[in-house]
Amino acid sequence: MQAGSGEVPMAATAGMIFDIQRYALHDGAGIRTLVFLKGCPLRCPWCHNPEGQEKQPQVMRYENGTEKVAGRRMRVDEVLREVEKDTVFYDESGGGVTFSGGDPLLQPGFLLALLKASKAHDLRTAVETSGYARWEDVEPLAPFVGLWLYDLKLMDDARHRKWTGVSNARIHENLRRLTTSGARVIVRIPLVPGVNDDRENLAATGRFVASLGAVGEVHLLPYHRAGMSKYERLGMPYTLGDTLEPPAEEMQRLAAILQEWGVRTKIGG
């Protein structure tokens, strides 16, 4: 199949999903349904969806002795059937469907099939991503994505490798290409105290975003520990247990650094 063609491989009509959440309000405009695709190329220690990191299903064990499998294979039509249950709310609120993860770009063929099916059903679409993917996997998706929710974590490549396990070069290049192509993009920065909340990093981020000229706004997402219990259920260590959630006044101070570059900034999603 040629990139960008209308055909989708049969193998891509099913993929690995670990959750579908309805009535979401912070991952795109209006009321949305979030579809979480499994697998992520990054290993951020603050990740609040650690069950989305591995490509394969995982068992989560709860304190009461019960178990839950995170991850199941679903067909495109099965996913759309769940999403379309709330069409009336999308129409009234301007909402739609957001594909998240993990990182949905790790299943590009399946994501393309989901996006095409969503567009065929007149659903507004958004994709939440780290941006770490081959451009040849990203480019065919772009015509079917109404909004990109695009993470920028750290500007310095060495620091990015230390905290996420991968270089940020591909992430930055993909963002440049998307904005140049006219895609609608909101940059999101998960602010983690002691990791990326220093002036040097935020000033570099503001300078980079301002140079793109086409980013709608930047959302600063304050660190939280809401997903910490998931690590224990998966038998994974949580290394940021002593990190405190930043107070509101600190978030305002950090937002002001970005605003020095003329970047429209919002605290929260």
The Cα 62–Cα 233 span in angstroms is 6
Q: Which CATH number fits domain 11-191: 3.20.20.70, 3.30.980.10, 3.30.230.10, 3.40.190.10?
A: 3.20.20.70
Q: How confident is the model at residue 167 (pLDDT cuts 50, 70, 90)?
A: very high
What pLDDT is attached to residue 226?
A: 86
pLDDT at 2 over 60: no
Question: How many Å apart are CA 110 and CA 65, to the nearest integer?
Answer: 34
pLDDT of residue 33: 97
So what's the pLDDT on residue 13?
87
pLDDT (tens digit, 9 = 90+) per residue, 69-125? 999 999 999 999 999 999 999 999 999 999 999 999 999 999 999 999 999 999 999
Res 12 pLDDT > 70: no
| CA-based nearest residue to 114, from 148, 171, 75, 66 | 75
To the nearest whole percent, how much of the chain has pLDDT over 70?
96
Domain segments of the chain: what residues?
11-191
3-state secondary structure of 140: coil
